[in-house]
Amino acid sequence: MTRVLMLNYEFPPLGGGSGNACFHLLKEFSKDPSLQVELITSGYGKRAERSRFAEAVEVHRLAVGKSRRDYWTAKEIARWSVQAYGLARRRSRAESYDLCHCWGGWPAGVVGYSVRSYQPYLIALRGSGVPGFNERLGLLDPLVFRRLSRRVWRHAAAVTAVSQSLERLARRTAPNLDIQVIGNGVDAVQFSPNGDGDGPFTLLFVGRLVPRKGVRYLLEALAKLLADHPETRLILAGEGPERQSLEALCGRLGLAENVTFLGHIEHTELPKLHHQASVFVLPAIREGMSNALLEAMASGLPVITTEGEMGELMHDTGLVVAKRNAEQLAGAIASYLRDPELVARHGRNCVALARERSWGRIAGAYLELYERLRAGPDARGDVSRRTRPETDD
């Protein structure tokens, strides 16, 4: 029996991609009778709650004073960190875990590091926990998080990254660290093509409305297209702190009739939304491995994304443009408007690629890693042999 303590401050209904990926991974793990998991996450309630996700998966929801499901304040993360440390320490004393799986270098990774005397810990890098990923942490990264990350990663039994681009970014902080890429999966049963294709040409974005998603450049690109393609539509599904400014930008650009802000959409409703769309657009400035993009691909939508972020997915499956470049975005959208055959070909290739990335395969990769970690340092490679000595500066 493998016993895992898992730390992730996001878990449905709270959070975004990290919580969604955690949900699907636990769903796969629940099928394995040799695995038991305890997840420490966040809840909406004023008191901590304890429940069963599955027979062998227990969930501890901490009371962090959450105000919005899609956006985290520094106070909320601090509250989760303090409570998660206390609970992880108590549970580690009371139980015998084989390892601690930390979703992100911080805050989860810091908690895992703090209880490392009880069990080895695994760091699964997802995005914001990597210095340089989140622009709003620009001042803190060189002062605090780069040094902290080196220490936390270096003492981990293993470190994974959700994409090749995130691995490259992480190596700027720890060039000599051994990092395994284990991506996201997709449910190709829930998300599949409908073969319709009727209706106006419609662009779709699904994600948090935060600056690093680059949505304002998509709006500027749409404005450039309307003179020649006035029927083009854009659907924005998601909430976030940038929504008000994006709505104001729509007004200034004269896009009010062409853009629909849906706000938060339940995950179960997303397949219907994909069936209304022609192309999925993710103009991200920084991205780990987008669940939303994979789900769009599984639904048969060709994709437009930015250079360097989703490279391992872009194999005749879509178009790639420069970051922060509305002109190139407009050109890519126009290419699809002019060429329905290109839309169809890329859509077919997207479906084929997505079907190779099942959550079962992702779960299998993690279970294989768990087994290596259980086998001990001789099997997994001791930290001192995995890295060359580095200073914390």
- 16-45 pLDDT, tens digit per residue, is 889 999 999 999 999 999 999 999 999 988
Q: Look at the domain 202-355 and name its fold.
A: Rossmann fold (3.40.50)
Q: Kindly report the average pLDDT of the chain as a whole number.
A: 90
| Residue 289, SS3 per DSSP | coil
How far is the C-alpha of 285 from the C-alpha of 307, rounded, in Å?
9
pLDDT of residue 375: 84
- Given pLDDT bands bounded at 50, 70 and 90, which one contains residue 137? low
Is residue 384's pLDDT more than 60?
no
Q: What tens digit of pLDDT does each residue of 197-252 get? A: 678 999 999 999 999 999 999 999 999 999 899 999 999 999 989 999 999 999 99
The residues of the chain that CATH labels 3.40.50.2000 are 2-185+359-386, 202-355
Is residue 185's pLDDT more than 90?
yes
What average pLDDT does range 349-360 have in this prediction? 94
pLDDT of residue 133: 83
What average pLDDT does range 71-87 have in this prediction? 92
Ranges 51-65, 80-94, 192-206, 276-290: which has the least confidence: 192-206
- Given pLDDT bands bounded at 50, 70 and 90, which one contains residue 141? low
Do the bridges between strand 99-103 and strand 158-161 make them parallel or antiparallel, or are there none, so unpaired? unpaired
pLDDT of residue 197: 61
pLDDT of residue 225: 95
Is residue 383's pLDDT more than 50?
no
How far is the C-alpha of 101 from the C-alpha of 196, rounded, in Å?
42
Q: What tens digit of pLDDT does each residue of 94-127 get? A: 999 999 999 999 899 999 999 999 999 999 999 8
How far is the C-alpha of 236 from the C-alpha of 261, rounded, in Å?
5
pLDDT of residue 3: 97
**Helix segments in 95-229, DSSP class H:** 108-114, 140, 146-154, 164-173, 215-225
Q: Name, in order, each residue with C-beta under 8 angstroms of 166's C-beta and a sequence gap of 6 or more.
A: 125, 126, 127, 130, 133, 288, 289
Quote the tokens at residue 40: 């420490």
What average pLDDT does range 177-191 have in this prediction? 94
Instruction: Output the pTM of the full model.
Output: 0.87
Is residue 388's pLDDT more than 90?
no
Is residue 196's pLDDT more than 80?
no
- Given pLDDT bands bounded at 50, 70 and 90, which one contains residue 377? low
Per CATH, domain 2-185+359-386 is 3.40.718.10: no
Is residue 376's pLDDT more than 90?
no
pLDDT of residue 58: 97
Is residue 260's pLDDT more than 70?
yes
